[in-house]
Amino acid sequence: MTAAIQDIRARLDAFDARHAPTGLFLRYAQGRVAHFWGRQVMTLLGSAALFMLAGPVPGFMAAVLALAGEIVDCGLLRAAPGLLAGGVDPARLSRLATVTAGFQAATISACIVLAWLGVPDDAATAFAMAFAAGAAINAGLVLPFHRDAALVRLVIYAATLAGLFLFEIMTRGHLSQRALFDLIATGIMGYAIHVFLGFVVAGHRRHTSNSRELLVQSLDLARANTHLKDQQREARNLSLVARHANDSVVMADPDGCIFWVNEAFTRITGYSLQEARGRRPSELLNAPDTDPAVSDGIAAAVAAGRAHRAEILNLRKDGALIWIETNIVPVLDETGVVEMVISIERDISSAKTHEAELAEAKIAAETGERAKASFLATMSHEIRTPMNGIIGMADLLAEAPLDAESRHHVQTIRQSANALLRIINDILEFSRLDAGKPVLHANVFSPCDCIGEALAILKPQARAKGLTLDLLIDGALPDRVMGDDGRLRQILINIVGNAIKFTLHGGVTIRASARSDGDGHRLQFEIEDTGIGIAPDRIPHVFDEFEQADTATTRQFGGTGLGLSISRLLAREMGGDITVHATLGKGSCFTVTLQLATAPDATPPPPDAVPPGLPVLAPRVVLVAEDNRTNRLLVRKYLEHTPLTLLFAENGREAVEMTRRHRPDIVLMDMSMPEMDGLAATRAIRADAPAQPHIVALTANAFASDRAACLAAGMNGFLTKPLRKDDLLRTLAEPPGSAPFPFPAPADLS
C-alpha cells in the first residue's frame, strides 16, 4: 500500500470515527465546553436587562440560575473524554449528559419565567420570547451531535412558553387580544426556529456525506493510480521476462499467425522475429515425422481458445530435430473473445533422450530381475534336488541297524548336509528379501508356545556342545497376540542358533519380556551368551550381508553371514529392531524388539491341550510325478511299509495320462519336469480328468511365488525339498479333498 493510500485511508478512518456515535458525543462535549464563555455573554445581557426592567433581585437570580445549569452540564462534559478513556460505557455517559442538559434547560426556563413575571406587561412577553428564542437556537445547534440532549432542551423551552401562556389565560380568565398576538408571534418564531434548525441539520448531513464521499473518491483515485502504476510496472517486468526468458515465448493472433517472439525462440529454432512474423508455428517448424494428431490438437486448441499442453517434434532452421514442450494459453477480452494466443515453449530434447535411456535401463533392469528370479528358481531346484537325495538317504540309513562307526559316519553326513542346507536357505532367503519387502502373515499365536518351539529345535544342538540353554521370562507374556509367528520363530532360531554356534563353554540365556504399547504389545528378547564376543570395530558390521567378525570366524564356525542381516530386516518390518552389545572374548548380548498387535477376543485352547497325532494311513493309490530317479527311490523307501499303492511317472505328460488311466487318490507333483511341467500337468488334470485327485506340489522351488503358482493351478498342498519323511506322512494322512482350492474354469487354463 502506497503512502498516499495510507494517508487517505487514515483520514477516512478518522472521519468515520469522528462521525460515529461516540465521536459525535465527544464533539458535542468539546463544543459545549469550548463555547461556555460565549453563552455566558447572552446570560449576562439577559440578566442585566432583567436587572433594569424587573429589579436587582430577579436579575441576580437569573444570573445565578443560568450559571448553575451551565456549571453542572459543562462539568460532566469536561470530564467525558477521561471517563470514556477509563472504560465508562459511552451509551451510559450519553444518557447522563442528556439529564444534565435537561437540568441546564430547566435553569434557563426559570430565567424565562422570571422575565415573564417580573417585567412590566408591555415588555414581558417580548423579552421572554427573545430569551427563549436564543436558548432554543443555541439548543438546536447541537442536534447533529447529541440529538437527545437537544430535544430535551427544546421540549423544556416549548413547555415553559406553553405553560406561561396557559397561566396568563387562567389568571385573566380569557385570552386577551395582546396575548393572542403574542401567541401567534411565538408560533411564527417557533416555526422559524424549526425551519432554521432543519436547515442546519440538513446542511450538516450534506456536509458530512459530501466530505466522506470526497474522501472515498480520493481513496479510489489513489488506488486506481497505484493499480495503474502496478500494471505498468508489471507490464514492463513481463516484457523483460518474456524478452529474456530461457523458454521461447510466441504471441499469435486469433488465427494463429505469429506477431512477436522473444530471443529464446530465435536461439532454440534459429528463426528471427522477421522470419516468423505472419506465419503459423506449424508452417514454420513441423518436421516430416511430426505426429499429425499432436499438430491437429494444437490447432484445434488455438481455434477453440482453450489452454493446451503438448510435446511435439519440430525442425530447426538448420535441419536439426528438436522436441518441444508447448503450453498454449488464450488471452480473452471482456466479452470472452480470443484476443491473442501466447505459447510458452521449452526445448526438451535432452529430457526425451534421458527418458529413452531410462526406459531402456528399466527394461534392462526388469530383464535382469527376471533373469535373477529365474536363476534363483533354477538354483533352488538344482541344489535342493540332490540335497533331497542326500538328506533323505542319510535319514533312511540312520533308521537302519548300524554299528557305532557307521552310525557316526551317517550322523556326520546328516549334520554336514543340514549345515549346507542352512547356508543354501540363507542365501535364497536373502535374495528374496533383497528384491523387496518380506511378506508378513498375521496369525493369532501364543508367544510362549512360539518361543518354546524355537528352543526345542535348538536344544539338541546346545546339548551336543555341552552348553546350557535357559529361558527367563520377566513378568507375564500375553497369552495370544496377532503377528507372523513363523518370522518370529525364524528370528529366534537365527539369533539363538548363532549364539550357540559361537559359544564353546558356558551357555546361552534368553530373557523375554513384554509391555502394553497402544493397541498392541512390545515384545523384547535378550539373547546373552558366553561365547567368543565381537571386537568393538566389528560391531557396526555384524548386520551387514556376508559379514562375520573376521575370516577366522568363518573358517572356524562356518556360515554365510546372512542370518543376522535377514533377522534385522524382518524385525524392522515387524515394527522393531535388533541391537547388539558385545565384549571380545566375553560374549555377546543381542536385543530383539518386536511390535505385535493384540489378538481378537476368542476362547483360548485349554493349556493342557495336546495336538492330535497322525492318523494311520488308509490304503490309497498315490501317483508320484518325479523326473529324478533318486527322489523316486527316496519316496519309495519312505513309503515301503505303508498300505499305499505307489505309481511313478517320469514327466508331466506321463502323469496326466496315468491320472486318466489309474485315477489315483493322491498325486505328488514335481513342478520342474521334462515335456510338461507340474503346473501345466495340474491344469490339464483339472481340466478333463474323470476323477479329481488330491494334488500336492513336491518341489525344490521354495519361493512364496511358487507356492502361489501351485495353488493357482489347482493344487491342494505344497511340500518342499529336501523332503522330510514326517512331513510326507503327515500330508498323506490328510483326508482326500481336505483344504480344497477352487479349480480354474476351462477358459482360464493355459
**CATH number where 259 lies:** 3.30.450.20
More confident residue, 404 or 251: 251
Residue range 407-434: mean pLDDT, rounded = 65
350: CB partners within 8 A, 6+ apart? none
Q: Pairing between strand 621-625 and 645-649? A: parallel
**By three-state DSSP, how is residue 523 classified?**
strand
Residue that is last in its domain, among 598, 613, 631: 598
**Could you tell me where the DSSP H helices lie in 559-649?**
563-573, 629-638
Lowest mean pLDDT among 8-22, 75-89, 241-255, 599-613: 599-613
Q: Which residue has the cell 505307489?
A: 646
pLDDT at 514: 92
Name 183's bridge partners: none
Q: What is the per-residue DSSP string for 308-360?
A: EEEEEEEE-TTS-EEEEEEEEEEEE-TTS-EEEEEEEEEE-HHHHHHHHHHHH
Residue range 115-122: mean pLDDT, rounded = 70
pLDDT at 657: 92
pLDDT at 241 over 80: no
Does 226 map to a domain?
Answer: no
Residues 212 and 358 reside in one and the same domain: no
Does 47 map to a domain?
Answer: yes
CB 694 within 8 A of CB 665: yes
Does 616 map to a domain?
Answer: no
pLDDT at 651: 92
Q: Residue 197 and residue 137: Cα distance in Å, rounded?
A: 7
Q: Which domain holds residue 408?
A: 354-418
pLDDT at 610 over 60: no
pLDDT digits (tens, 9 = 90+) for 686-706: 988 677 899 999 876 656 667
Angle at 732 between CA 728 and CA 733, to 5 degrees: 115
More confident residue, 685 or 57: 685
Residue that is last in its domain, among 347, 368, 399: 347
pLDDT digits (tens, 9 = 90+) for 64-76: 888 898 899 899 9
Q: Specify burial of residue 464 (Cβ count, 10 A radius: 0-12, 13-18, 19+).
A: exposed
pLDDT at 563: 74
Does 234 map to a domain?
Answer: no
Residues 10 and 60 reside in one and the same domain: yes
pLDDT at 427: 61
Distance set, CA 398 to CA 351, 394, 459, 721 (Å): 67, 6, 20, 19
Q: Pairing between strand 645-649 and 248-252? A: unpaired
Residues 141 and 280 reside in one and the same domain: no
Residues 75 and 106 reside in one and the same domain: yes
Per the rule left: phi > 0, alpha: psi between -120 and 50, beta: everything else, 527 is: beta
Q: Which three cell numbers stand for residue 315?
A: 525442425
Phi first, then psi: give them for residue 131, nearest 5 degrees.
-60, -45
Q: Residue 301 and residue 329: Cα distance in Å, rounded?
A: 9
Q: Using CA of residue 18, residue 23, residue 29, residue 30, what is the dihedral sign? A: negative
Q: What is the per-residue DSSP string for 350-399?
A: HHHHHHHHHHHHHHHHHHHHHHHHHHHHHHHHHHHHHHHHHHHHHHHHHH
Q: Using CA of residue 202, residue 204, residue 205, residue 210, what is the dihedral sign? A: positive
Cα–chain center distance at 295: 40
Residues 21 and 115 reside in one and the same domain: yes
51: CB partners within 8 A, 6+ apart? 58, 59, 60
Percent of the chain with pLDDT over 70: 84
Q: What band does 551 get if pLDDT is binned at 50, 70 and 90?
A: very low
Residues 9 and 96 reside in one and the same domain: yes
pLDDT at 579: 93
**By three-state DSSP, how is residue 592 classified?**
strand
Q: Residue 211 and residue 203: Cα distance in Å, rounded?
A: 12
Residue range 498-511: mean pLDDT, rounded = 91
100: CB partners within 8 A, 6+ apart? 72, 73, 76, 77
pLDDT at 703: 63
Q: Which of 412, 516, 510, 511 is nearest to 464 (CA)?
A: 412
Residues 465 and 488 reside in one and the same domain: yes
Does 426 map to a domain?
Answer: no
Percent of the chain with pLDDT over 90: 18
Cα–chain center distance at 519: 23
pLDDT at 737: 54
pLDDT at 165 over 60: yes
pLDDT at 747: 32
Q: What band does 591 get if pLDDT is binned at 50, 70 and 90?
A: very high
Q: What band does 128 get if pLDDT is binned at 50, 70 and 90?
A: confident
**Could you tell me where the DSSP H helices lie in 481-539?**
485-501
pLDDT digits (tens, 9 = 90+) for 170-183: 877 776 777 777 78
Q: What band does 500 get if pLDDT is binned at 50, 70 and 90?
A: very high
Instruction: Give the chain's count of helices (H) and strands (E).
Output: 23, 17
Does 603 map to a domain?
Answer: no
Does 428 map to a domain?
Answer: no
Element (DSSP H or E) covering residue 664: none
Residues 593 and 657 reside in one and the same domain: no
Chain mean pLDDT for the chain: 81
pLDDT at 385: 66
Q: What is the per-residue DSSP string for 526-550?
A: EEEE-S----GGGGGGTTSTT--S-
Residue that is last in its domain, among 330, 347, 364: 347
Residues 250 and 399 reside in one and the same domain: no
Residue range 713-740: mean pLDDT, rounded = 77
The number of distinct structural domains making up the chain is 5
Q: Using CA of residue 537, residue 543, residue 547, residue 550, what is the dihedral sign? A: positive
Residues 142 and 202 reside in one and the same domain: yes
Does 126 map to a domain?
Answer: yes
pLDDT at 555 over 50: no
More confident residue, 199 or 701: 199
Residues 339 and 361 reside in one and the same domain: no
**Could you tell me where the DSSP H helices lie in 547-622?**
551-557, 563-573
Q: For residue 706, what is the domain's CATH number?
A: 3.40.50.2300
Residues 165 and 68 reside in one and the same domain: yes
